[in-house]
Structure 1
Amino acid sequence: MNLLMVGAGLSGAVIGRMMAEEGHDVTILDARDHIAGNCHTERDAETGVMVHVYGPHIFHTDDAEVWEYVNRYETFLPYKHQVRTTSQQQVFSLPINLHTINQYYRKTMRPDEARAFIEEVADKSITDPQTFEEQALRFVGPDIYEAFFKGYTMKQWGVSPTELPASILKRLPVRFSYDDNYFFHAYQGMPENGYTDMVERILDHPGITVKLSTRFTRDMAEAYDHVFYSGPLDGYFDYESGRLGYRTLDFEKFTETGDYQGCAVMNYGDVDVPYTRITEHKHFSPWEEHEGTVCYREFSRECGPDDIPYYPIRLMEEKAMLGTYVEKANAETGVTFVGRLGTYRYLDMDVTIREALDTGRAFLQHAADGTRMPAFAKPPL
């Protein structure tokens, strides 16, 4: 078959490689002038530091097949993600752990004592938390909520925590140990030569043609047997039912000599600090040594028509609109919507790759059976 992948990020690359290995002709388009989507990495010309151009991407997974897959195309070296936060003129470790709790309250509690203490300061009148704020007050109490969650969340999402669902906070752990490893997954690492190098190797197949700086239009689909679309779901339909809500990021890049902040990520929890965090990129490659250093101040805001969409908001208004677009997508033939933008879901890289592998296999099975491939291998709702 003659197949089109819209987007040269992880979804398009993984599905495209699978299709090419099965003997199909694959064309991959991307509107940008580079491959690898938002996990694109490149060397900074001034310092030589490997920079995560669209913000930090840390690879972590419990999926053994996905870990084996990425290591087939790139050597992943050990990396332990540790995050700090500056709040109320102090520096604390994240996620909230026993050291954070003892430091904040100036105590020396053991795990069982800290667990009992947090339960004591929590708002036990909240029995069924519905909002982000209620979830925080019920499980960590007002002090930790104010110091670590409230200001950061307001800056990140641009709304009061009373308007956000409790599910957002449920992803953030509280640990009653001194373990400050941000992720608990079995496999964690960073690509030795960056993500773009990895994606380039995935795309290195004679059956794959890559066309950059090329914007997809729906009439292009007529020349192909099937399209895998990883662009914005609403964009495929020319936003005819409105624009789905996203947050976008602005990066203020600066360079220094030496070590600027001593860690890869420093969050800023106080609402009067306009940025959410500073990332120092050489710490993402701890096996390298550089005299200079590259940092990004990260600002979150509402995504406009010409901005890069990062985080789907998925509040009630967006979910209603999403339902409309899902109906439109299900009525289409010859196209499958994939990835973060195509399914309007926040996806980590390992989940994106897992879903791409599953989608590719499902397509091959439908082709073998002579049945129709659905619009979504993983429905957005």
Structure 2
Amino acid sequence: MTKHVLMVGAGLSGAVIGRMLAEAGHRVTVRDARGHIAGNCHTERDAGSDVMVHVYGPHIFHTDDAEVWDYVNRFETFQPYKNRVKTTSQGAVYSLPVNLHTINQFFGQTLRPDEARAFLESKADTSITDPQTFEDQALRFVGPQLYEAFFKGYTIKQWGCSPRDLPASILKRLPVRFNYDDNYFFHKFQGMPENGYTAMVDRILDHANITVELNRPVTRDEAAGFDHVFYAGPIDGWFDYRLGRLGYRTLDFERFEHQGDWQGCAVMNYGDVEVPYTRITEHKHFAPWESHEGSVLYREFSRACGPDDIPYYPIRQVAEKTLLAEYVDLARAEANVTFVGRLGTYRYLDMDVTIREALDCGRAFLAAQESGGAMPAFTVNPL
């Protein structure tokens, strides 16, 4: 039986689920409170320089999931792109993630890989056997000097708290390499959409059974008129924040322009806590197959997210997880609503994981329709 389904949010989750359901014959309405599609990965051409700008900060596609890679390439040509991040510390520029060149440069050494492993181990605090905090993790595996130079100040600025108050799991995502590989990601498939993410999402949404409505916030009461709702907005927002607001970090961008090449790379981190911004991004370097004289850059500042700000990074510390559990209980009591994506499940998600979960969620809905079963509030446990 054909259903009329509402997607709240025109980002990756809403677009991918919506496309799958539309191709299966269902009617899909996609609504977004903002005036554009593609959510926080929205891209647009700068009128003056013609540079493709990542409006809400850079998004670099990387995955080991072959199906997801094939999916995005179905709707947009992805050009090869390797993320090579640089960082400044005390007036010098280094390569991230920490690799053999970083170690040799920082300590004035010419160590081979096995020598560098032993050298870093000699710097590490081996008394820490079970790292619980971000700081413990750093001190145990890279030692105090590299921690102070590359991780401590950046982390304080990014999260607005001491690294002693953050879980070790955050740092476990950051590799240390004992070779000269400066590719930030390990993944098999890495690239950038030739015409930007918004063009890709536009093609995903381009189906006769999909209607897109922008500048169109959705209330819980309005959603009741649909057979099913996929909600990619903030889970606490669905319930009008009745139990309180979940904590996020947000970003402010200070845009500036330059004629020529301003910093010679796409991303330059600033590890010193005295520098108020976390990094500068130069957007033309995210499309190295293009050539532009002009340049568009963002200084990026992180701060606590207020009620009128765009939520970026879920904090997910003890208090937030406790509140999230209460909202999850409310969500599971809802009928015909499934919470999806970064905001709907209050989890930090890379783009490939978002798409993978959306594909799985769409298939779960179609399977439930075929079997006559009920669609759950979550297809991935947010806790």
Give the Cα separation in 2 of the matches to 1:15 and 1:47: 35
Matching residue within 297, 300, 306 for 2:299: 297
Deviations 1:220-259 (A, max 9, x none): 1221100000000000000011100000000000000110
Give the corresponding residue for 2:172.
170
Match of 1:109 in 2: 111
Instruction: Indicate the percent of aligned positions where both proteins have the same amino acid.
Output: 76
Q: How does 1:1-381 map to 2 (within 5 A)?
A: 1-381=3-383
Q: Residue type matched to 2:4 in 1?
A: N
Find the aligned partners of 2:337 and 2:156 in 1 and give their Cα distance.
37
What SS does the aligned partner of 2:224 have? helix
Counterpart code for 2:120:
I
TM-superposed CA distance for 1:192, in Å, is: 0.4
Q: Which one-letter code corresponds to 1:66 in the other structure? A: V
What's the TM-score once normalised by structure 1's chain length? 1.00
Please give the secondary structure, in 2, of the residue aligned with 1:378. coil
Structure 2 Cα separation of the partners of residues 340 and 367 of structure 1: 25
Taking the aligned partners of 2:192 and 2:259, their CA distance within structure 1 comes to: 23
> Equivalent residue of 2:98, what SS?
coil
Shift, 1:88, TM fit = 1.0
What one-letter code is carried by the residue in structure 2 that aligns with 1:362? A
CA distance in 2, matches of 1:313, 1:62: 26
Aligned equivalents of 1:337, 1:354: Cα separation in 2 = 15
CA distance in 2, matches of 1:88, 1:110: 25
Task: Give the partner amino acid of 1:43.
Answer: R
User: Which letter maps to 2:357?
Assistant: E
AA matched with 2:106? Y
1:32 CA displacement = 0.1
Deviation at 1:45, TM superposition (A): 1.0
Q: Distance in 1 between matches of 2:267 and 2:206?
A: 33
TM-score (norm 2): 0.99
For residue 322 of structure 1, what is the amino acid of its counterpart?
L
Query: Per-residue CA shift, 1:173-221, capped at 9, x if unaligned?
Result: 0000000001110000000000000000000001000000000101112
Distance 2:7 2:189 in 1: 29
What SS does the corresponding residue of 1:18 show, helix, strand or coil? helix
For residues 337 and 234 of structure 1, the distance between their equivalents in structure 2, rounded to whole angstroms, comes to: 11
User: What is the letter of the counterpart of residue 334 of structure 2?
Assistant: E
Q: Residue by residue, what CA displacement relative to the aligned partner does 1:17-37 show, whole Å, maximum 9, x if unpaired?
A: 001000000000000000000
Q: Return the letter of the residue paired with 1:337.
A: F
Residue deviations 1:76-103 (CA, integer Å, cap 9, x gap): 0111110000011100000000000000
Q: Distance in 2 between matches of 1:329 and 1:82?
A: 40
SS across alignment from 1:165: coil
Give aligned pairs, total.
381
Query: Unaligned 5+ residue runs, structure 1?
Result: none
Runs of 4+ with >2 A deviation: none
The Cα RMSD (Å) is 0.4
